[in-house]
């Protein structure tokens, strides 16, 4: 069209931008953006909305935000696209802030925007905010939408409200596989394996057949609960009974199931014989399993592959270093950490979130910036003293620094989830459950700490780590100490 000097309308430009979004064509997007500015059509709502969509799908949120803020006449779709862009890029707090701005501005709700903001609530485990959006769903008449209801189930499940998730599921007609998958996934995340299995069978009795997504949740639950034989049964039945082809994610679940059970050579055999290239997720799972059983030989193989696939991920170097440290091989620890320093790899710092009074508070390991940090550390010392009388002792083997035991105990008490918990204790109403998100796997000492804490504060503690949910109550955890 340009060669023929045919005029390009706003509709044509927005259509081409949609094609760019489908193929993540950021270069073409920038060229079209420049063309739109030159032709003075960049302020057209359709063009601007398409630009926001492309930039967000290409992970260029600063550019998407600039386009959004520059647009005077925003449509409901423009607002929805911007919220969805933030969610897609895991900028959940920004998504919630923008959603609230839209409500103040009188933007009409639609199923797409509501589902996006529910995903943001799920990402932050912002249960109170999620309940508010649930009220909006009722008022707007979206309750019968399987798309919205599955988002509600997902939000409640990821925010620790598994009973509320089931209530949403129970109130639906349950004719959509999407709803069943959402609920099965919720039970899986919470380690509610019996409920998950019952629902899985009930779904088939209703005439609905599982698909690849269903089996991912089922296999994941087996991994969380250490159900090796059940995992093997489901892994085989998906092909033999339902003629569902396995993808790389199903094999990854099987590697995880075997590795968590200590069957690391079986897990390695699955990786070597499967019809796919082993992914970083699989090698990471194998490496973590090697740490648990102390197998250095396989750990080094897994770490080598991980560093080739993910050279900039510092956690891989750290995990191998920790395995060396657990085996008291301090020379190898020093070499591994020196390699980490010399590379461009970035180590993930421990971080936890807690929602208090509609505000998400973030705690880093060794946090010092929070306005109530002095009060938090004082209360933490008080709680530890009370817990020690019940038999709590810091599990210093989970701190792998080459320092004395007293120093290790101090380092362990500064873990982010402990600080978030104490903040919840001093901030939330007496008896209210405390919900925390952790960006990494909860360590053994923090897991033990939470069990004792739930006993002395007489309330439920719900921790969502990178792998699963842990419900601590009266000194026990729902995972049965298997995670």
The model's confidence at residue 31, banded by pLDDT at 50, 70 and 90, is low
What pLDDT shows up at residue 342?
65
Q: What's the confidence (pLDDT) of residue 136?
A: 94
Q: Which residues of 114-148 are buried (b: 16+ CB within 10 A; e: fewer)?
A: bbbbbbbbbbbbbbebbbebbebbeeeebeebbeb
pLDDT band at 6 (very low <50, low <70, confident <90, very high): very low
Q: What is the mean pLDDT of residues 172-183?
A: 88
Q: Which two tokens stand for residue 439?
A: 């960006």
* Average pLDDT estimate for 240-252: 95
Q: Which residues contact 314 (CB under 8 A, 6 or more apart)?
A: 340, 343, 345, 346, 347, 348
pLDDT at residue 435 tops 60? yes
Q: Which of 127-131, 195-199, 477-481 has the lowest mean pLDDT?
A: 477-481
Domain boundaries, the chain: 260-347, 351-477
Distance CA 21, CA 19 (A): 5
pTM of this prediction?
0.81
Q: What is residue 345's predicted lDDT score, i.e. its pLDDT?
A: 59
**Mean pLDDT for the chain?**
85
CB atoms within 10 A of CB 399: 20
Structure confidence by residue, pLDDT tens digits, 248-296? 999 999 999 999 999 999 999 999 999 999 999 999 899 889 888 888 8
The pLDDT assigned to 421 comes to 96
Could you name the CATH architecture of 260-347? Alpha Horseshoe (1.25)
């Amino acid at each position: 069209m340009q060669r023929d000097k045919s005029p390009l309308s706003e509709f044509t430009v927005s259509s081409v931008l949609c094609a760019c979004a489908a193929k993540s064509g950021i270069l073409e997007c920038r060229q079209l953006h420049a063309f739109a500015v030159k032709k003075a059509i960049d302020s057209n709502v359709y063009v601007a909305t398409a630009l926001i969509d492309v930039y967000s799908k290409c992970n260029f949120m600063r550019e998407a935000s600039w386009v959004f803020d520059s647009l005077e006449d925003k449509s409901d779709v423009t607002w929805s696209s911007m919220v969805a862009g933030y969610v897609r890029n895991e900028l959940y707090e920004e998504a919630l802030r923008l959603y609230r701005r839209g409500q103040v501005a009188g933007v009409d709700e639609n199923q797409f925007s509501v589902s996006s903001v529910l995903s943001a609530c799920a990402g932050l485990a912002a249960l109170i905010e999620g309940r508010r959006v649930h009220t909006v769903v009722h008022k707007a008449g979206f309750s019968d939408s399987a798309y919205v209801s599955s988002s509600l189930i997902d939000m409640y499940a990821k925010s620790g409200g598994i009973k509320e998730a089931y209530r949403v599921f129970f109130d639906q007609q349950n004719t959509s596989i999407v709803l069943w998958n959402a609920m099965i996934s919720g039970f899986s995340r919470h380690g509610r394996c019996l409920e998950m299995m019952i629902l899985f069978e009930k779904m088939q009795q209703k005439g609905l057949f599982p698909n690849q997504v269903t089996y991912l949740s089922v296999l994941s639950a087996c991994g969380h609960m250490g159900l090796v034989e059940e995992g093997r049964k489901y892994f085989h039945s998906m092909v033999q009974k339902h003629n569902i082809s396995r993808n790389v994610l199903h094999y990854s679940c099987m590697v995880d199931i075997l590795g968590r059970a200590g069957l690391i050579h079986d897990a390695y055999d699955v990786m070597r014989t499967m019809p796919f290239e082993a992914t970083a997720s699989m090698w990471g799972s194998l490496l973590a399993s090697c740490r648990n059983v102390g197998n250095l030989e396989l750990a080094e193989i897994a770490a080598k592959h991980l560093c080739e696939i993910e050279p900039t991920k510092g956690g891989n170097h750290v995990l191998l270093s920790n395995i060396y440290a657990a085996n008291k091989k301090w020379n190898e620890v020093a070499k591994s950490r020196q390699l980490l320093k010399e590379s461009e790899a970035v180590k993930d710092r421990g971080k936890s979130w807690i929602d208090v009074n509609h505000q998400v508070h973030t705690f880093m390991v060794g946090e010092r910036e929070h306005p109530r940090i002095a009060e938090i550390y004082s209360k933490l010392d008080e709680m530890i003293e009370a817990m020690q009388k019940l038999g709590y002792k810091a599990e210093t083997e989970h701190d792998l620094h080459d320092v004395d035991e007293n120093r290790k105990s101090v380092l362990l008490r500064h873990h982010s989830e402990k600080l978030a918990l104490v903040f919840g204790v001093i901030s939330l109403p007496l008896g209210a459950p405390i919900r925390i998100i952790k960006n990494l796997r909860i360590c053994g000492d923090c897991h033990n700490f939470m069990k004792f804490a739930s006993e002395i504060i007489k309330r439920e503690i719900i921790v969502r780590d990178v792998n699963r949910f842990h419900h601590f109550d009266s000194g026990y955890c729902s995972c049965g100490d298997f995670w």
